Amino acid sequence: MNFHILSLFPEMVLQGLSTSITGRAAKQGKIHIDAVNIRDFSEDKHRRVDDYPYGGGAGMLMQAQPVYDAWQQVTKPLFSQEKRKVRTIYVTPQGEPFTQKKAEEFAAADDLVILCGHYEGIDERVLEEVVTDYVSIGDYVLTGGELAAMVIVDAVARLVPGVLHNDASAETESFHGNLLEHPQYSRPEVWHEKRVPEVLLSGNQKEVDKWRLEQSVLRTKERRPDLYESYRQMQECKELLMTQKLLHIDMIEAINRGAAQLVYRKGKEILLYHTQAGIFYHTDPEEKEEPYLYEWGEGLCERELSGANTLAQGALPSGAMVSEAMPDCLVLHQERYIAKAEQLFSLKHTMTCSHAVYTKKEKAPVSGLYRPDGKPMGNGLTIQPLHAEHADFVKENYRKMSPEYLAGRIEKGAMFGAFLGEQLAGFAGIHDDGGIGMLFVHPQYRRQKIAQALETYLVNLLLERGMTPYGQIETDNDASLQLQEKLGLYVAKSPVFWLEK
């Protein structure tokens, strides 16, 4: 991930980011930060870059030409490379609020160019030509954009794989959406006569997790009633979904993993948006005379046609979050909605899948499959995370997903290989929606329980992270359905329906 800062005070940004975690990540080559001085592009003999605003008014404006030339110098080599994802952010109090979601979106780019203004702003004409995103870090006015640029670089950099030295990748980390962190304590046990809560010393991880969740809920209710309201609504949805747990496990897990936004709810009809996978999930367990989708769907279409591509906040239940634009991918949980949804959103029904869910809390047995201590089995088999050097093997052997998607999964630490000695014999992974999948065993190595070993490994990994392991199996894939049942997963009786562009 590369950050390019355009500023009148580049040393301020470089200095600020050269220490601590961003500094270390840059030294290790995990991120790259450069800064260009816009003044170096002035054509004025006194190196001026500002002038009076037409129409009068207080203060000076940064002129278009030096900003444009600085931007061109930085971006020309980037745009000459095909498929490079480049965004140009202008930091301004007039921008969209910077949130964790925005940081995640920016982290998917290859290059972020961040333009810092000074004085009273920048000539509008150059902004029109170069800026892709207008971003504000809060409702206050700073003297320049440099601090805002540093905030954005810091928040995005920590999402780049390898920047934080966590053993859990960001995707398999257990996390509760919409809740603030619980309080934390370190040594000594007593300080200023205050004791660390007893439960944290008990060694009972289940009780510790329960206490932490309770504290998170209490703290959120007290300090951020707005977030608490979203959490409460999501819990209500979860209760409804739990009445058909196997059918709805995709939606339930999106909620549990903090990746769900509530887009629409009316009675038992629920529409969620998966923030990591960009997928919409719809369910309406109640038989109605006519399937609707309209209050959401047609409302969305109307707004799309009138030029606004997001739902108006006012149209949503209070506290619900605004969705993205029209869905590219929608998973329906009732067949009777297919025709309506296809027509409304110009989508096509591409896949029918059944959920296979591991409902037990105890780990699956691994004896005869792999060694949990990471040492090789008698036949030399180990299971290990895959890295960039394995990407070609995965891309060649798994054609159902795009090469970019597979490379992204590897980069996120979500793909695992079965190795016989040095030889990669097969792989499996965790999709961006949280489901287990992408299972492949090379024909040469089949009938050696390698598929079982890989899937059991992923089931146990997800259990360790406090998640419910599940996968989506195409309903005509008998071999896979049989494997699931053999491994102790339950297959849902009713399938789900994937609609895509």
Determine, following the binding rule CB under 6 A, whether residue 138 of this chain makes contact with ligand ADE.
yes
Q: How far apart are CA 383 and CA 454, in angstroms?
A: 7
Q: How far apart are CA 490 and CA 497, in angstroms?
A: 18
**By C-beta, is 148 or 170 nearer to ligand ADE?**
148
Determine, following the binding rule CB under 6 A, whether residue 327 of this chain makes contact with ligand ADE.
no
**By C-beta, is 89 or 462 nearer to ligand ADE?**
89
Cβ-contact 355, 249 below 8 angstroms: yes
**How many residues sit close enough to ligand ADE to count as binding (CB under 6 A)?**
11
Determine, following the binding rule CB under 6 A, whether residue 54 of this chain makes contact with ligand ADE.
no
**Category of 123 on φ-ψ map: left (φ > 0), alpha (ψ -120 to 50) or beta:** beta
CB-based contacts of 73: which residues, under 8 Å, 6+ apart? 36, 41
Q: Of residues 194-223, which lie at the interface with ligand ADE (CB under 6 A)? A: none
Determine, following the binding rule CB under 6 A, whether residue 247 of this chain makes contact with ligand ADE.
no
Determine, following the binding rule CB under 6 A, whether residue 122 of this chain makes contact with ligand ADE.
no
* Minimum distance, C-beta of residue 128 to ligand ADE, in the bound complex (Å): 18
Q: How far apart are CA 377 and CA 440, in angstroms?
A: 20
List the end-to-end C-alpha distance of the chain, in Å, as a whole number: 29
- For 366, the 3-state DSSP assignment is coil
User: Residue 414 is which amino acid?
Assistant: A
Determine, following the binding rule CB under 6 A, whether residue 136 of this chain makes contact with ligand ADE.
yes
Cβ atoms within 10 A of the Cβ of 147, count? Answer: 16
Q: Which DSSP helix (H) or strand (E) runs through 266?
A: strand 260-266
**By C-beta, is 77 or 138 nearer to ligand ADE?**
138
**By C-beta, is 138 or 317 nearer to ligand ADE?**
138
Q: Which stretch binds ligand ADE (CB under 6 A): 135-143, 170-178, 306-314, 377-385?
A: 135-143
Q: How far apart are CA 501 and CA 494, in angstroms?
A: 24
* Minimum distance, C-beta of residue 94 to ligand ADE, in the bound complex (Å): 9
Q: Encoding tokens for residue 290?
A: 């006519």
Determine, following the binding rule CB under 6 A, whether residue 140 of this chain makes contact with ligand ADE.
yes
- At residue 260, φ and ψ (nearest 5 deg) are -110, 135
- Tallying the residues shown for the chain, one arrives at 501
* Minimum distance, C-beta of residue 143 to ligand ADE, in the bound complex (Å): 7
**By C-beta, is 116 or 259 nearer to ligand ADE?**
116
- Where would I find the beta strands (DSSP E) of 132-179? 133-136
**By C-beta, is 136 or 169 nearer to ligand ADE?**
136
Q: Which stretch binds ligand ADE (CB under 6 A): 6-14, 130-138, 188-196, 253-261?
A: 130-138
**Taking Cα atoms as reference points, which of 84, 61, 14, 70 lies closest to residue 40?**
70
**By C-beta, is 122 or 487 nearer to ligand ADE?**
122
Q: Where are the alpha helices (DSSP H) in 80-166?
A: 100-107, 124-130, 146-157
Determine, following the binding rule CB under 6 A, whether residue 237 of this chain makes contact with ligand ADE.
no
* Minimum distance, C-beta of residue 4 to ligand ADE, in the bound complex (Å): 17
Cβ-contact 62, 31 below 8 angstroms: no
Q: How far apart are CA 154 and CA 149, in angstroms?
A: 9
Determine, following the binding rule CB under 6 A, whether residue 145 of this chain makes contact with ligand ADE.
yes
Q: Are strands 423-430 and 436-441 parallel, antiparallel or unpaired?
A: antiparallel
**By C-beta, is 58 or 141 nearer to ligand ADE?**
141
**By C-beta, is 141 or 479 nearer to ligand ADE?**
141
**By C-beta, is 88 or 220 nearer to ligand ADE?**
88
**Taking Cα atoms as reference points, which of 347, 362, 389 lies closest to residue 456?**
362
Q: How far is CA 485 from the centre of its chain?
A: 30
Determine, following the binding rule CB under 6 A, whether residue 134 of this chain makes contact with ligand ADE.
no
Residue among 142, 200, 227, 315 that touches ligand ADE (CB under 6 A): 142
**By C-beta, is 136 or 448 nearer to ligand ADE?**
136
**By C-beta, is 13 or 170 nearer to ligand ADE?**
13
Determine, following the binding rule CB under 6 A, whether residue 137 of this chain makes contact with ligand ADE.
yes
Q: Which stretch binds ligand ADE (CB under 6 A): 45-53, 139-147, 203-211, 285-293?
A: 139-147
Residue among 25, 148, 241, 492 that touches ligand ADE (CB under 6 A): 148
Q: How far apart are CA 328 and CA 344, in angstroms?
A: 12
Determine, following the binding rule CB under 6 A, whether residue 113 of this chain makes contact with ligand ADE.
no
Q: Which stretch binds ligand ADE (CB under 6 A): 40-48, 56-64, 141-149, 211-219?
A: 141-149
* Minimum distance, C-beta of residue 156 to ligand ADE, in the bound complex (Å): 15
**Site track for ligand ADE across 61-100, x = CB under 6 A:** ------------------------------xxx-------
Angle formed by the axes of helices 10-17 and 146-157, to 10°?
Answer: 30
Residue among 29, 80, 141, 205 that touches ligand ADE (CB under 6 A): 141
* Minimum distance, C-beta of residue 133 to ligand ADE, in the bound complex (Å): 12
Q: How far is CA 23 from the centre of its chain?
A: 24
Q: Of residues 163-192, which lie at the interface with ligand ADE (CB under 6 A)? A: none
Q: Encoding tokens for residue 121?
A: 């702003």
- For 89, the 3-state DSSP assignment is strand
Please write down the HEC assignment for all residues of 460-488.
HHHHHCCCCCEEEEECCCHHHHHHHHHCC
**Residues binding ligand ADE (CB under 6 A):** 91-93, 136-138, 140-142, 145, 148
